[in-house]
Structure 1
Amino acid sequence: MINRNEKLEQLILEFLSKVDAATALLEEKFGTRCILRLWRTNKIERCGTIIDDITYELHGVGCAVYLPDVCIDFDYGVDGRIDGFDVWRLYLLACELPDQYEKYTDRKVLTADFKEYIAEGKLEEMVPSTDKIYVIKGKKFT
């Protein structure tokens, strides 16, 4: 049987892949994937250049990295986890890549499929989390 939410799964995996690529660049530049502490201790600016035309912008508990093809916006979780996502972040990526994820440029459609994916037991809440941030059930990426 074909997974009804195969496209959602692809979007989630692409999101996580982009976050991994972005945080690898941050680690290369700053020596760590989670640069929040550096910002909060005034060791780096809130916004800056990572390399060439790739830039970052820190906000709250997260970071937006402007890669050549997309902007990837993510939050850091407990212990520097980078594998959390929500409908909003997936929606932003889908809008950046409409040729690949046209269905999910409609936030209502994405929200419905996301809720179904949760009901199927494929996602779980990242705990502790102030927002409803989810991770793939049974996997941990840092």
Structure 2
Amino acid sequence: MNKQHNDIEDLINDFLAKVDTATLLLEKKFGTKNILRLWRSNQIQRCGDITSDAQYELHGVGCIVHLATESVNFDYGFNNRIDGFDAWRLYIYALDRPLTYKKFCDKKILEKEFNDLILSKKIEKMSASDSLYILASNPHS
């Protein structure tokens, strides 16, 4: 039985951990975590296999990695960063895990809590030209 998580920061950390897992698989297969350039230069197909039980699907500035039992959809950020997220990506991630993130399968609740994180400065824009957010740097570390 899955444990319910009602904290948006748990959702974000879980999402980022899954992106790390996915991009490490990409790096092992293709030599880089960001495979967009390979696709755009016709070195790889838009969709394909990473391993026997993992596939990738590139889109716009991002990638969906389908693992054996779940998927993660992320965008590559400024300077090939992979630690970015937005409310939409978190919502899709929660929908794929309703037993764990039931609360965040309600888009309005997720968006409210996401906006609360922005107001409390716990998350910040990755860059001025990016629509992604990152966890705010801890000024005390």
- Taking structure 2 as the reference length, what is the TM-score of the superposition? 0.91
Q: CA RMSD in A?
A: 1.5
Question: Percent identity, aligned pairs only?
Answer: 51
The answer to whether 1:16 aligns with 2:12 is no
Q: CA deviation at 1:69?
A: 2.3
What pairs up with 1:98-137 in 2 under 5 angstroms? 98-130=98-130, 132-137=131-136
Whether the 8 Å CA contact 1:125–1:133 is kept in 2: the answer is yes
The answer to whether 1:80 aligns with 2:80 is yes
**Contiguous gaps of at least 5 residues in structure 1:** none
In the alignment of these two chains, the number of paired residues is 134
Structure with the larger helix share: 1
> Equivalents in 2 of 1:116, 1:79: separation in Å?
27
Q: CA deviation at 1:67?
A: 1.0
**Contiguous gaps of at least 5 residues in structure 2:** none
Q: C-alpha deviations, 1:111-138, integer Å up to 9, x for none?
A: 00110111111000111434x2110011
Whether the 8 Å CA contact 1:77–1:129 is kept in 2: the answer is no
The answer to whether 1:42 aligns with 2:66 is no
Partner of 1:92: 92
Whether the 8 Å CA contact 2:6–2:101 is kept in 1: the answer is no
Runs of 4+ in 1 over 4 A off after TM superposition: none
For CA contacts below 8 A with separation 6 or more, give which structure has more relative contact order: 2
Partner of 1:58: 58
> Equivalents in 1 of 2:69, 2:82: separation in Å?
20
